[in-house]
Amino acid sequence: GENVEQHPSTLSVQEGDSAVIKCTYSDSASNYFPWYKQELGKRPQLIIDIRSNVGEKKDQRIAVTLNKTAKHFSLHITETQPEDSAVYFCAASSTNTGNQFYFGTGTSLTVIP
Amino acid sequence: EAQVTQNPRYLITVTGKKLTVTCSQNMNHEYMSWYRQDPGLGLRQIYYSMNVEVTDKGDVPEGYKVSRKEKRNFPLILESPSPNQTSLYFCASSPGTGFSYEQYFGPGTRLTVT
Contacts of B108 in chain A (CB under 8 A): 43
Q: Across residues B51-74, what is the average pLDDT?
A: 96
Q: Across residues B74-82, what is the average pLDDT?
A: 97
Q: Given pLDDT bands bounded at 50, 70 and 90, which one contains residue B1?
A: confident
Considering only CB atoms, A99 lies closest to which of B31, B90, B108, namely B31
Q: Is the pLDDT of residue B105 over 70?
A: yes
Whether A53 has its CB under 8 Å from any CB of chain B: the answer is no
Under an 8 A CB cutoff, do B50 and A98 touch?
Answer: yes
B 9-48 → A contacts, CB under 8 A:
31, 33, 35, 40-45, 48
Q: In terms of DSSP H, where are the helices of chain B?
A: none
pLDDT of residue B36: 98
Contacts of B44 in chain A (CB under 8 A): 103
Taking 50 as the pLDDT cut, the residues of chain A under it are none
Q: Given pLDDT bands bounded at 50, 70 and 90, which one contains residue B99?
A: low
- How far apart CA A96 and CA A17 sit, in angstroms, is 38
Nearest residue in B to A6, CA atom: B42
Q: How many helices (H) and strands (E) does chain A have?
A: 0, 11
> What strands lie across the sheet with B4-7, from one edge to the other?
B4-7, B19-25, B76-78, B65-66
Under an 8 A CB cutoff, do B90 and A43 touch?
Answer: yes
Q: Across residues B104-114, what is the average pLDDT?
A: 98
pLDDT of residue A98: 73
